[in-house]
Amino acid sequence: MAVPRRSLDGRLFWVLGLVCAMYQIFFVRSAAGQTAQLSVNASPQNTQMIPENMFGIFFEEINHAGAGGLWAELVNNRGFEAGGPNTPSNIDPWLIIGDESNIIVATDRSSCFATNPIALRMEVLCESSGNDVCPPGGVGIYNPGFWGMNIEEAKVYKVSMYIMSSDSMDLTVSLTSSDGLQNLAAYTITADKEDFKEWTKVEFDLQSSERNPNSRLQLTTRTSGIVWFDQVSLMPSETYMRHGYRKDLASMLANLKPKILKFPGGNYVMGNYLSNAFRWSETVGPWEERPGHFNDVWGYWTDDGLGFFEFLQLAEDLGACPVWVVNDGASRNEQVPSATIAAFVKDVVDGIEFARGDPGTSWGSVRAAMGHPEPFQLNYISMGNQECSMHYYKGKQPLSKLLFLENYRKFYSAIKASYPDIKIISSCDRSTISPVEPADLYDVHVYTSSGDMFSKSSMFDSTPRGGPKAIVSEYAVTGNDAGRGTLVAALAEAAFLIGLERNSDAVEMASCAPLFVNDNDRRWSPDAIVFNSWQHYGCPNYWMLHFFKESSGASLHPSTIQVSNYNQLVASAITWQNSKDGNTYLKIKVLNFGNKAIDLSISITGLENEIQTFGSVKTVLTSGSLRDENSFQQPDKLAVYNVLGLGGRPEGEAAKVSLSVVYMFLFAWLESATGGASYNPLTAISGALASRGGIALYLFTVFVRVPAQVIGAVIGVMLMRFAFPKVGKGAALSVGVHHGALTEGLATLMVVMVSLTLKKKEQGFFVKTWIASIWKMTIHILSSDMTGGIMNPASAFAWAYARGDHTSFDHLLVYWLAPLQATLVGVWVVTFLTKPKKTKEQEADKNKNKKE
């Protein structure tokens, strides 16, 4: 409910806004219906301030989250370094076009980059004419990217590569379909022998004439000779904030309004071995000079295009505070002795200088040369990853906690000596922290089942106040009930976050993990955002985070729930100020984790002046089954959607009913004026059957009128969502499919029977329309919590089409088959019950005819 009211000075506006209900329903509401009372004290004098950086995100290079994901580079293994330093090496996923009779490719150490010594040597043995003729399309190499390159029609792609050759050259660089048969764009490089005798950088644009989400980049020629290639890159010209991030994926992050970005990972930072750990200094500077490294924990190569600088830039672009996870001299199998830890300590201090140092400093100048002379706002350093959990490591011997603490003290002292304002996060728990082992914050990771996660909403209730606060930098429901991102997992995590809001005087920050997964490389499930080369969707826990994006820096208000013998409800209430309109909003979140439908009433005290509840908005995340997940086929099966309303007060409810009755009168008048026009297929079908118009009328209705109604509904919904983008997702199933079918069927049956009965009566237009309107509104209200009470297949299809679930079995059964069956039954029942009785004269005539 969003309603402005004047404050005491008459200048500020308060708004009672966004009553957010995240709920689940196992069964159809029982007649008894359990009730609950939520009481909120909204007085501005009775609040607890939530930290400014409370909720954010944690990025780890896992599941190809960055390489082939958030980082928009389309070429996989662009520098040919993934096969290792020894040559010849594997060039996967590069492949050749041609065969060994006309082309030979191999890696060697001839690159012009000292940090990237590997280059690809391509020797072409055939010609465009003569005895050894090349195939018609030429020979060469191609790169399929990360399970296909998404090439969009009319979009521009930037190609960059280094070439060396002592021979004349006629090289075609093209974007094609995965089989090479469809040509999307091409550019030809023609050169004489002397033009490329030294390594030369070549840059140009390719504009695609068509769209293909599974494309490849290929380099082909029909000219014999030897050519070397290195650092072959293909980037879309349109990236998020023009900083190289894949636009659709980065926008998903921006929509969460994260206040922190923890990066670049946990295990990824450590590595199974230090030789494969993330080294920040090797990920900055020109991208061609970055050596890349093997991500040995998660099993794939990354060229480090998404490096330390890019993470800091991403945090700035998102308006988030960067939290840098540093390597503190430990891998999952190794620890650096304290006597030799100094180099690792200096490396971290140098990294802070890169982020924050003046452009005149050694590392600050590197950052400035990359286009960012202003310092980044790096204020948090997280020391390592779970080193205090000695059982976590996979080596033959557990890592030494004592050695970790000894090394930790050296990092802490060195960082504080140069940057006393930086907050240092310990990976040990609160009990380890002391004046001897100081820390500003301590890291907590929570991975557990949904039931346990729900119970952990009280995890910090008894934590002593004072001293270092917690950062819950990794949390997620895992195990069987998590699936690939289920509703029950999202609900459990929401309850946990509500608990963190309540305990925000003991918890400083929280971030979900993992964040991304490429559907072709699931190393971990579930994840918040799923993607492939050309599409993406948010899992239920991603959409759940939308309920918390205004919580950081908000005021938490006391709230209590009163309910008998039921402990599955949690709630919170915050006030936050919208920077766009200057208004302050009250946001209430309610979550039901149990198997009972609850009738909830909300009472709010502490508001100084009378308010109006007109213009309310209810935001909902729900589905018919706890195990429901989103998918590429149904990306919005579970997503937050807004229901615009007029408030919960009597005048608001009266206004909603009045508007519904008015539009029903309008359509009844249109039906009368046009001789039977209708927007509902059920009305058209029941009318055709009841009128006894014959098979011709029935076929005309089914094959002409109903499709026209569906098309009209789809267009109407599209226009409505265009004009009012926050209008929501329409009626949706919020119970099991069979209960939904029963509900929609019974509701349709009752409406059809009453409507047909009224048509056979002699009352006037006004009386019949009034009775029908009130009856339809009553049935709609009774069934709205379960199916939306829509009773109109055309309208249901239009909203389902907008959500992307119009082809699902659930939609077909609940919103088409059940109502149609109910319509047929209703027509038969009304026809039978209203069949005119035979008079005595009719019986006499019948008997007379028989005698004759």
409-446 pLDDT, tens digit per residue, is 999 999 999 999 999 999 888 877 777 678 999 999 99
pLDDT digits (tens, 9 = 90+) for 287-340: 999 999 999 999 999 999 999 999 999 999 999 999 999 999 999 998 999 999
Domain final residue pick, 405, 423, 439? 439
Report, as an integer, the average pLDDT of 656-662.
48
What's the pLDDT at 40? 93
DSSP 542-596: HHHGGGGTTTTTPEEE-EEEE-TT---EEEEEEEEE-TTT--EEEEEEEEE-SSS
Which two three-digit tokens encode residue 535?
Answer: 């599409």
pLDDT at 504 over 60: yes
Let me know if residue 493 belongs to a domain.
no
> What residue numbers bound the domain in which 760 lies?
650-833
Residue 200 pairs in a beta bridge with: 163
**Per-residue confidence band for 743, with pLDDT thresholds at 50, 70 and 90:** confident
Q: In this predicted structure, which of 405-414, 574-583, 740-749 has the lowest mean pLDDT?
A: 740-749
- Compute the distance between CA of residue 446 and CA of residue 389 in angstroms, rounded to an integer: 13
Are residues 284 and 156 part of one domain? no
Are residues 393 and 282 part of one domain? yes
Let me know if residue 661 belongs to a domain.
yes
CATH code for the domain of 800: 1.20.1080.10
Q: Find, among 285, 313, 167, the residue nearest to 226 by Cα.
A: 167
Q: How do beta strands 584-592 and 13-23 pair? A: parallel
Are residues 391 and 287 part of one domain? yes
**Per-residue confidence band for 58, with pLDDT thresholds at 50, 70 and 90:** very high
Let me know if residue 478 belongs to a domain.
no
What's the pLDDT at 441? 96
**Per-residue confidence band for 852, with pLDDT thresholds at 50, 70 and 90:** low
Average model confidence (pLDDT) across the chain: 84
**Per-residue confidence band for 650, with pLDDT thresholds at 50, 70 and 90:** very low
pLDDT at 647 over 70: no
- Compute the distance between CA of residue 850 and CA of residue 178 in angstroms, rounded to an integer: 80
76 touches 83 (CB < 8 A) = no
Q: How do beta strands 423-426 and 380-383 pair? A: parallel
pLDDT at 230 over 70: yes
533 touches 214 (CB < 8 A) = yes
What's the pLDDT at 145? 98
What's the pLDDT at 28? 29
What's the pLDDT at 658? 47
Q: Find, among 501, 512, 496, 491, the residue nearest to 591 by Cα.
A: 491
pLDDT at 651 over 50: no
Report, as an integer, the average pLDDT of 561-575.
92
Report, as an integer, the average pLDDT of 524-548.
96
What's the pLDDT at 768? 65
Higher-pLDDT residue of 146 and 695 is: 146
Let me know if residue 380 belongs to a domain.
yes
Helix orientation angle between 342-356 and 401-418, rounded to the nearest 10 degrees: 40
Let me know if residue 86 belongs to a domain.
no
Radius of gyration of the chain (CA): 33
Let me know if residue 29 belongs to a domain.
yes
Are residues 788 and 762 part of one domain? yes
Are residues 608 and 722 part of one domain? no
What's the pLDDT at 820? 80
Measure Cα distances from 488 to 39, 634, 642, 648 in Å.
Answer: 26, 18, 21, 28
What's the pLDDT at 17? 30
Are residues 640 and 656 part of one domain? no
Are residues 741 and 607 part of one domain? no
Report, as an integer, the average pLDDT of 85-106.
96
Report, as an integer, the average pLDDT of 652-680.
55
Are residues 663 and 811 part of one domain? yes
Higher-pLDDT residue of 528 and 776 is: 528
Residue 696 pairs in a beta bridge with: none
Report, as an integer, the average pLDDT of 581-587.
84
CATH code for the domain of 300: 3.20.20.80
What's the pLDDT at 428? 84
Report, as an integer, the average pLDDT of 52-76.
98
Q: In this predicted structure, which of 83-87, 176-180, 408-412, 730-734 has the lowest mean pLDDT?
A: 730-734
CATH code for the domain of 156: 2.60.120.260
- Compute the distance between CA of residue 434 and CA of residue 125 in angstroms, rounded to an integer: 71
Q: Find, among 417, 363, 364, 409, the residue nearest to 383 by Cα.
A: 409
Domain final residue pick, 600, 619, 644? 644
Higher-pLDDT residue of 729 and 104 is: 104
What's the pLDDT at 845? 58
What's the pLDDT at 13? 28
Are residues 433 and 292 part of one domain? yes
What's the pLDDT at 553? 96
Let me know if residue 489 belongs to a domain.
no
Half-sphere exposure of 436 (CA within 13 A, CB side): 5
Q: How do beta strands 183-191 and 169-177 pair? A: antiparallel
Let me know if residue 74 belongs to a domain.
no
Higher-pLDDT residue of 276 and 598 is: 276
Number of domain units in the chain: 4
pLDDT digits (tens, 9 = 90+) for 787-836: 666 677 777 777 777 766 666 777 778 777 877 887 788 777 877 777 66
Are residues 295 and 210 part of one domain? no
Are residues 684 and 625 part of one domain? no
- Compute the distance between CA of residue 140 and CA of residue 137 in angstroms, rounded to an integer: 9
**Per-residue confidence band for 488, with pLDDT thresholds at 50, 70 and 90:** very high
